[in-house]
Amino acid sequence: MRRIALLASILIAISFISSLKAEEVIKDKSPDGKFALRMTHGEQGWNTEIIETATKKKVIDLENVAVSGDKDRIVWMSESSTRAIDTYGDEATLTWSRDSQRVAYYNLDRRDRTMSVYFRNGSSFEEVSLPEFP
């Protein structure tokens, strides 16, 4: 009986510890090397953000799928949450200007194809409104 209780306790502890571990991918560094795209997958879903590469500090949240409230994003997250982060990472991309002052974020894996453009303003980035296409 004690062995069963001990085994159950160990299994519970292991599952709790592994659930705390979030997967992380950092890629698409800016030409000046100061910024990059970070993607994480934790209990609340996928997050994509631009970070400072030296400190890993978040500069701007590009897409927080779990808390966006956007029905299309939530459906997409539920469909893709079982995929490996490497597969997800192939579709989410930053494309930088040569001077690292402008960046485009896009994700081809979504039905609506996420796309946004940001201009650097000091140590932060501001989203630029894109025109509506018919």
Residue 65, amino acid: V
Q: For 53-106, how does the pLDDT look when each residue is reduced to its tens digit (9 = 90+)?
A: 999 999 998 875 444 445 555 565 555 555 555 566 667 889 999 999 999 988
Residue found by looking up tokens 């400072």 in the block: 52
Domain assignment of residue 82, yes or no: yes
- Alpha carbons within 13 angstroms on the beta-carbon side of residue 12 total 6
Domain assignment of residue 9, yes or no: no
On the 0-12 / 13-18 / 19+ scale of CB atoms within 10 A, 105 is buried
Domain assignment of residue 7, yes or no: no
Question: Based on the structure, what is the number of domains in the chain?
Answer: 1
- Residue 96 pLDDT: 96
If one compares 27 and 83, the residue with the highest pLDDT of the two is: 27
Please give the residue range of the domain that contains residue 29. 23-128
Element (H, E) at 87: helix 85-91
How far, CA to CA in Å, does 101 sit from each of 34, 104, 116, 122, 128?
11, 11, 14, 9, 12
Q: What residues pair up with 106 in beta bridges, in sequence order?
A: 93, 115
Domain assignment of residue 17, yes or no: no
CA–CA separation, 40 and 51 (whole Å): 12
